[in-house]
Amino acid sequence: MTTLIIIDQAPYGSWEGREALDMAFSLAAFDQPVSLLFCGPGVNWLRKGQDAAGVQQKSVEKNLAAAPIFGVEALLADRAACEQYGLDQNSLLDQVTLADPGPELTARFDHVAFAG
């Protein structure tokens, strides 16, 4: 049972993305295959060099860097959204793979869940 969790909201504006990340880590902890797809403003999760101290939050960058260690299979980024937000491969975290969201992508997974 492979799962894709989609985060389509910017980091720090709400807790929904973080709670979706917890869902992914939880599946991985139970050895269930899981990947994450960031699309729309959600691609900003994948930006290198984040500093969230100004909003009294922890940077999500470290959490994401740990994703492969926890067993999350892939961090996928919506290619078009990355262009829209001025993100290229150099400004994205190293483990990120660019992808084109759509039926072909989601069909590769048995279960697809969105962040709240």
Partner 1 sequence: MKNRSPEQKETPAPAGVFALVITGAPYSSQAPGTALNFARAALAANKRIERVFLYGDGVHLASGLSAPPADELNLSKAWSDFLMENRIPAVACIASALRRGLINESEMKRYELPSSNLRTPYEIAGLGEWVDSVSSQTRVLYFHRGG
Q: Which residues bind partner 1 (CB under 8 A)?
A: 1, 3, 15-16, 19, 22-23, 25-27, 29-30, 32, 110-111, 113-114, 116
Instruction: Provide the 8-state DSSP code for 40.
Output: G
Considering the complex, what minimum distance in angstroms separates the CB of residue 51 from partner 1?
23
Nearer to partner 1, 30 or 69 (CB): 30
| Least spacing, CB of residue 94 vs partner 1, in Å | 26
Q: Quick one: which of 10, 7, 9, 8 has its CA closest to 22?
A: 7
At position 97, the amino acid (one-letter code) is T
C-beta of 15 vs 89, nearer to partner 1: 15
* CA separation for the pair 15, 64 (Å, rounded): 15
